[in-house]
A and B are shown apart, each in its own frame.
Chain A
């Protein structure tokens, strides 16, 4: 590989990280909030797909992509609220409910999404951090979408709130020990219900990014496991919102390996590089599952790591 090709690949990876990472980031932040409260929502894959569909549909009908983002968040929070409510019932297992919500969310999205596969809806805009260099390639690679900024701000606010506010303390306490939360007079079910709903809202926004910015259209193959990978990411990020952002950027870069190599003419093994994010997730899970640091940071009530 010549030096210029190498630069192109590196630029493409950075561009990919900035472009592809946003849905990972939102889903991971949503799951992080839910898991901090002691519950696992594996259904965020379905939430992501439903968010993508409803965001696209609302943007198409209203003409405003930002209204679409809001609508996607609301659709996501409805799914989150369903998950939160069902898990509240005694003898119901949150992992199984997550699988059911994955099927249900995808089913609803595909059912109502059919008329929106063809028409094109107004999309979200973007701006470039690299425009000042005057270099076309760098400018394209450093395109930033506004949702990325929103995601980073949400992560910073979440990290601050977990550490410094009463609400953050209540969420962490509910996640670490339901018994002590009850002793403090906190309604464990209510806290988890609200956290799952808010987590669904964030995941829905991640879906709107898929259909309204990149790849920027709605179809049934839009999210293939990105919601699920983001859930796995939270374990790797050890339940810290800031580390969720970093992990999401890493994943974005991994997802861009295939297209980046293609752009310099390496087309062999395209499908293999498509599998790269899944393989990376699996290795990350293997590496982080048994680690002592993960065992220290895990919320005590969580059923996913037991």
Chain B
């Protein structure tokens, strides 16, 4: 088992002590300041990199600001893109809390989207009501996602198969399965351009949140984040998960059903990614094709790590990266940079972030006197 999952700062301190709140804030601040520091260092290094290429870093950050957050249009575009990022980040965060590093969110997203597009075909042809159709589509997407990542969890528990490698392999397999059907038996022959499934049609698409251009996936992502936060920090199940993630042997000795917990966590995680796929199909693409594999699953890994696998923190981090992804096109066109610039920036952020892990517990300011012996 890997030890990347940190316990929530709030649970480390018994709550009966007086001055409890200030202790909690000082403890918690460490988990905010260090990731922010990592982001700052990344921005600095990336600026140096741009200077070395003869580009202006100021222009870069201006364009990211304008393309991602500056106008009402760009902000809505950003929120649109942060919805799948929240959901795929949850797919990393939940297993991480029980000690598993799962990076297969992309596969669950693709298959979830594909499954919802497929179940929609007979329903649309049979003129079933849109609301019922969408409910069935969402359930299909979540089920197949839960199944896909659930397998990874099962293999991890039952056979000791490394979950990081197997989840990424499952992603490649999932994409191949979708391509097999989309280019074969389920291909919509009326569409000569790109192999796709039959479009579900405008009447069956998920609408926008009233007053915005953002689809309902954002609300779903935020609600799920809050629910999973409550599940992890306020329920017996969440407590068991955190115990099993912190020390699996102790959890087994306490009689906790570790295997069951692992599989349930993975299944919920996969369902989140599958739901992201459903929204990509039902709110954006309207059909399943190769564009489903747009890399949201991989960016979601970074989002979850930056948020320290805390479902609530995932929301702002996902919006930040949604903005960076959304502004990518503008930045690359205006500054004449290759289209892998955003990917490079993400990789750099990830590397710097992991280096910053070593800083925890190094700063005196966050350490509370007398609290050390209680943790």
Chain A residues with a Cβ under 8 A of chain B: 42, 46, 82, 86, 89-93, 95-101, 103-108, 110-114, 224-225, 228-229, 231-232, 235, 269, 271-272, 274-275, 278-279, 281-282, 285-286, 289-290, 303-306
Contacts and interface: CB of A to CB of B under 8 A. Distances in A.
Contact of B305 (A96, A272, A275, A305): A96
B48 interface: no
A229 B1 contact: no
Contacts of B2: 93, 95-96, 303
B101 A95 contact: yes
Given A93-B3, A107-B340, A107-B343, A42 B172 contact: no
Q: Is the interface of A mostly helix, strand, loop or mixed?
A: helix
B343 A111 contact: yes
Contacts of A106: 343, 347
A95 B166 CA distance: 13
Nearest to B359: A91
A278 B104 CA distance: 13
A282 B340 CA distance: 30
Interface stretch (B16-24, B203-211, B275-283, B349-357): B349-357
Query: Which residue of B159, B173, B301, B345 has the most chain A CB atoms within 10 A of its CB atom?
Result: B173
B348 interface: yes
Query: Which residue of A100, A108, A271 has the most chain B CB atoms within 10 A of its CB atom?
Result: A100
Interface string B295-312: 000100110010000000
Contact of B1 (A86, A272, A278, A306): A306
Given A92-B355, A278-B173, A289 B159 contact: yes
Given A91-B361, A92-B355, 6 more contacts: A99-B101, A104-B350, A107-B345, A111-B341, A285-B166, A285-B169
A213 B260 CA distance: 48
A272 B357 contact: no
Query: Which residue of B165, B180, B340 has the most chain A CB atoms within 10 A of its CB atom?
Result: B165
Interface string B170-188: 1011001101100110000
Nearest to A83: B351
Contacts of B346: 103, 107
Contacts, number: 147
B33 interface: no
B103 interface: yes
B76 interface: no
B161 interface: yes
Nearest to A224: B172
Interface string B182-204: 01100000000000000000000
B176 A232 contact: no
A176 B340 CA distance: 40
29 contacts: A92-B358, A93-B2, A95-B4, A98-B164, A99-B350, A103-B298, A103-B301, A103-B302, A104-B348, A104-B351, A107-B343, A107-B345, A107-B348, A111-B344, A112-B338, A113-B340, A114-B339, A224-B172, A228-B165, A229-B169, A231-B165, A232-B169, A271-B179, A275-B172, A278-B172, A281-B169, A285-B162, A289-B160, A289-B161
B91 to A, nearest CB: 14
Contacts of A275: 172-173, 176-177, 180
Interface residues of B, number: 48
Nearest to B155: A286
B363 interface: no
B358 A271 contact: no
Nearest to A220: B340
Contacts of A304: 162
Given A232-B169, A282-B173, A269 B180 contact: yes
A168 to B, nearest CB: 26
Interface string B303-331: 00100000000000000000000000000
Contact of A305 (B162, B170, B354, B357): B162
B101 A103 contact: no
B168 interface: yes
Contacts of B339: 110, 114
Contact of A282 (B170, B183, B358): B170
B160 A272 contact: no
A54 to B, nearest CB: 15
A95 B100 CA distance: 11
Contacts of B355: 86, 89, 92
Contact of A91 (B170, B340, B357): B357
A300 B3 CA distance: 17
B32 to A, nearest CB: 18
A97 B354 contact: yes
B348 to A, nearest CB: 6
A279 B340 contact: no
Nearest to A295: B160
Given A95-B164, A111-B343, A100 B159 contact: no
B95 to A, nearest CB: 13
A19 B245 CA distance: 44
Contacts of B4: 93, 95-96
A100 B347 contact: yes
Nearest to A86: B355
Contacts of A225: 168-169, 172
Given A96-B305, A105-B347, A110 B338 contact: yes
Nearest to B358: A89
4 nearest A-B pairs in the assembled complex, by CB-CB distance: A104-B347, A110-B340, A275-B176, A107-B344
A99 B301 contact: yes
A306 B100 CA distance: 11
A108 B344 contact: yes
Interface in B94-141: 101, 103
Nearest to B1: A306
